Structure 1
């Protein structure tokens, strides 16, 4: 009996990711990672400017370290906010289709055979892909932040959006840059009691 039959998919959380897309493929990805319960671990917004706490500085520094850990990654704009991180991650591997100057996601060939267990070719342990990058970032940041605040924790998932054209790239970059100034209207804003 399969697990899905036993529990009738009661405990299965549907993925929000595109089923046809290989997240190890060359493209630009807009990523949002939230702290658990959207707790304000990373600092505060004062007069439209993000003032990083010590844990915020760690989150920022680890983001900047991603290309050192993953040489096929380039970074676009990013911002560490009080309870989340927004950033553009550009996967640009030499052995794949080259990523153009400001990245356009290319269509994917669906003819590859599946491997890697239940996750198939999307298994992050087998591929250099977005999930592996984010897992490293979250793990490294958690390890260092818990030295300062033992309660630090990320939300279990992250949100990603494949950037498909120049206009979208530009709009997302502007959104990231202006995020602190628009904090009070931000859907991630939460007033602490």
Structure 2
């Protein structure tokens, strides 16, 4: 992460690929964290050797909002995802038939691209928290990776699927243990 000066203030440079079109067709791996890594979404529990999230009401809404993305963005297909106590991982595919224009990543209003999709997701979860008077906050940014090939896609799917079983050793687990 590179930190630079801008208008006499420090700012973190974007992690986005400078010349990439985040509205173009492709598969994207996403990670979004809660503010201060607080486990708003539930806890990981073991039952008969299987590990899974036991979601809170807000965790249930985080799942529902993720599954609703294609309702709001019909050009998006969802792949594997996992809601964890304090973050989420997801794979989504942007597929706009006939999309041939290339619009490199630029600062400014975003629509029909990865940033607008994830903004909508975060707003949906946040709105639910506000309406239900639940304490909640997102980390301001998110991590994304453009999936480059089938092998990488399969490794990411495996990582997402195994995430609950690896929670005790996960860097995102502030407790360092099962809750």
User: If the length of structure 1 is used for normalisation, what is the TM-score?
Assistant: 0.80
State yes or no: 1:53 paired with 2:61: no
User: Partner of 1:24: helix, strand, or coil?
Assistant: coil
Cα deviation, 1:38-94, whole Å, max 9, x if unaligned, reads 000000001122111110000000000000100000001001000001000100001
Structure with larger Rg:
1
User: Partner of 1:182: helix, strand, or coil?
Assistant: helix
The alignment's C-alpha RMSD in Å is 2.4
Of residues 136, 139, 160, the one that matches 1:152 is 136
Deviation, structure 1 residue 185 = 1.3
User: Partner of 1:50: helix, strand, or coil?
Assistant: strand
Structure 1 segment 1-193 matched on structure 2, within 5 A: 7-8=7-8, 10-47=9-46, 48-96=51-99, 120=106, 123-125=108-110, 127-191=111-175
Aligned to 1:102: none
Deviation, structure 1 residue 150 = 3.5
Deviation, structure 1 residue 6 = 7.6
Question: What is the rounded CA distance, in whole Å, between the counterparts of 2:136 and 2:97 in structure 1?
Answer: 37
Which stretches in structure 1 are left out of the alignment for 5+ residues?
A: 98-107
Cα deviation, 1:96-121, whole Å, max 9, x if unaligned, reads 26xxxxxxxxxx96xx6x8xxxx74x
User: Partner of 1:57: helix, strand, or coil?
Assistant: helix
Question: What is the rounded CA distance, in whole Å, between the counterparts of 2:35 and 2:123 in structure 1?
Answer: 14
User: Partner of 1:11: helix, strand, or coil?
Assistant: strand
Cα deviation, 1:140-167, whole Å, max 9, x if unaligned, reads 1100023334420000000001100000
Deviation, structure 1 residue 124 = 4.2
Which stretches in structure 2 are left out of the alignment for 5+ residues?
A: none
Question: What is the rounded CA distance, in whole Å, between the counterparts of 1:94 and 1:75 in structure 2?
Answer: 16
C-alpha change, 1:31 and 1:124, in structure 2 (3 Å) is farther
Question: What is the rounded CA distance, in whole Å, between the counterparts of 1:147 and 1:40 in structure 2?
Answer: 19
User: If the length of structure 2 is used for normalisation, what is the TM-score?
Assistant: 0.86
**More strand, by proportion:** 2
